[in-house]
């Protein structure tokens, strides 16, 4: 077997560089995500030091990375408690849609885009990055915080909504008919409902099959099953991240704890590829002309996501500091916004640079704001008010 010298060298240098950046981030107690994103920007096409041989590995690794991030996030919870949280936060999800899709729709109208482009830009400003936020919550050790279920409820309902939104956008952007879009929506809704019902009612059978006393067998079974479920989710136009999250929810007790331990190194490796890939997708030369528009959208998106998280955490009776943590945790945009732009590229090619700049700004600023939010209201009283009904 012949192995490319350039591939090995580029990957080796990238991993060593990420190690140094990660150590520096840990030393100063903040998430390494912004550093990884900026590294991807520097190493991508048009960057200061492109790595063409490693590009394919990073692209494939990014797909696996987001699956592993959501799998390990699902391992922190069980289906019963999460189903309760989802039901409670339907009003939060509605507010999330209204607050965060509106700036994109208005901006698209002001830019004179075709109505398909307006729909695409509204989706790009609405949806948060499940991959970035799940890693962020782990980095900041907030998985056990009281506001975290509210944050996760918003993320998962956004991902479920994408199962309806993306087929519609894909059909309309390609010039399809309304009944083709309707068929896609019906298939997606049935698939999501069936997957969540199966996870909730028959997940204990999956848990028994995946459990194994040998760590290697446990890793292979959990990872293999997760990738198969993620692939099936993509097949029916549901996010692979949703499929991976549902697999994580089915594992409980000692099996879940051991799965977290054996999968953590793989998750960290492929998560780094995921963050690099977002930077790879952006050409610095394309960014400069659209930075004013991207920064304006990013400022609006920051405010609207903080308001969304604040409201969702307030519904759970969380104090002010927790509400601010929830809001800042939701700021980051990422993989879905890039997918949305790629679907609408033919109908609205001018969207690409604006949205990629927007994503890069919020994917970088979001983790930083989430880290700093823990200090902003340290003097705020921590007594929890009654939940909003």
Query: Following DSSP, what letter does each residue of 71-133 receive, concatenated?
Result: HHHHTTS-HHHHHHHHHHTHHHHHHHHHHHHHHHHHHHHHTT--HHHHHHHHHHHH---HHHH
Average pLDDT over residues 129-145: 87
Mean pLDDT of the chain: 84
CB 222 within 8 A of CB 263: yes
Gap between the terminal Cα atoms of the chain: 63
pLDDT range class, residue 203, cuts 50, 70, 90: low
CB atoms within 10 A of CB 38: 17
Residue 389 has what pLDDT? 45
If you average pLDDT over residues 373-389, what whole number do you get?
53
384 phi, psi to nearest 5 deg: -85, 125
Angle between helices 240-250 and 130-139 in degrees, nearest 10 = 40
Measured between alpha carbons, how far is 184 from 168 in angstroms, rounded to an integer? Answer: 7
- The answer to whether 191 and 236 are in contact (CB under 8 A) is yes
Please give the Cα distance from 198 to 84 (Å, whole number): 16
Report the pLDDT averaged over residues 103-111: 92
Mean pLDDT, rounded, for 242-263: 85
- CA–CA distance from 160 to each of 57, 64, 188, 202, 239 (Å)? 28, 19, 9, 20, 8
Instruction: Taking residues 86-110, report their average pLDDT.
Output: 92
pTM of the model as a whole? 0.79
* 170-189 mean pLDDT: 73
pLDDT at residue 342, rounded to an integer: 76
- CATH class given for the domain over 14-63+78-202+266-373: mainly alpha
- Candidates 21, 24, 16, 44; CA nearest to 276 is 44
Mean pLDDT value across residues 290-311: 95
- The per-residue pLDDT for 20 is 93
* Nearest partner of 199 among 71, 307, 298, judged by Cα: 71
The pLDDT assigned to 128 comes to 94
């Amino acid at each position: 077997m012949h192995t490319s010298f350039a591939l090995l060298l580029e990957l080796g240098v990238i991993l060593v560089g990420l190690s140094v950046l990660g150590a520096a981030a840990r030393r100063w107690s903040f998430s390494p995500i912004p550093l990884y994103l900026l590294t991807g920007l520097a190493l991508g096409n048009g960057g200061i030091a492109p790595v063409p041989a490693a590009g394919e590995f990073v692209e494939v690794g990014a797909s696996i990375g987001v699956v592993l991030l959501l799998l390990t996030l699902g391992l922190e919870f069980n289906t019963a408690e999460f189903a309760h949280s989802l039901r409670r936060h339907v009003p939060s999800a509605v507010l999330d849609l209204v607050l965060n899709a509106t700036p994109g729709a208005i901006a698209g109208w002001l830019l004179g885009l075709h109505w398909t482009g307006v729909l695409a830009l509204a989706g790009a400003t609405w949806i948060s990055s499940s991959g970035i936020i799940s890693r962020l919550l782990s980095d900041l050790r907030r998985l056990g915080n009281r506001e975290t279920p509210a944050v996760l409820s918003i993320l998962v309902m956004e991902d479920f909504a994408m199962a309806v939104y993306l087929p519609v956008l894909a059909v309309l952007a390609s010039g399809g008919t309304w009944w083709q879009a309707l068929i896609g929506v019906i298939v997606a809704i049935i698939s999501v409902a069936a997957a969540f019902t199966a996870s909730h009612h028959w997940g204990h059978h999956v848990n028994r099959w995946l459990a194994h006393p040998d760590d290697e067998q446990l890793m292979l079974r959990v990872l293999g099953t997760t990738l198969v479920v993620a692939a099936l989710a993509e097949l029916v136009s549901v996010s692979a991240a949703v499929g991976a999250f549902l697999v994580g929810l089915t594992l409980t007790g000692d099996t879940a704890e051991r799965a977290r331990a054996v999968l953590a190194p793989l998750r960290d490796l492929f998560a780094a590829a995921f963050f690099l890939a977002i930077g790879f997708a952006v050409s610095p030369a394309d960014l400069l002309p659209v930075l004013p528009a991207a920064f304006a959208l990013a400022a609006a998106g920051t405010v609207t996501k903080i308001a969304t998280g604040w409201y969702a955490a307030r519904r759970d009776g969380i104090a002010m500091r927790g509400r601010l943590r929830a809001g800042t945790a939701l700021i980051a945009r990422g993989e879905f916004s890039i997918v949305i732009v790629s679907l609408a590229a033919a109908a609205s090619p001018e969207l690409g640079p604006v949205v990629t700049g927007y994503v890069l700004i919020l994917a970088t600023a979001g983790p930083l704001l989430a880290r700093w939010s823990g200090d902003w209201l340290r003097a705020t009283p921590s007594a929890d008010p009654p939940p909003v009904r």
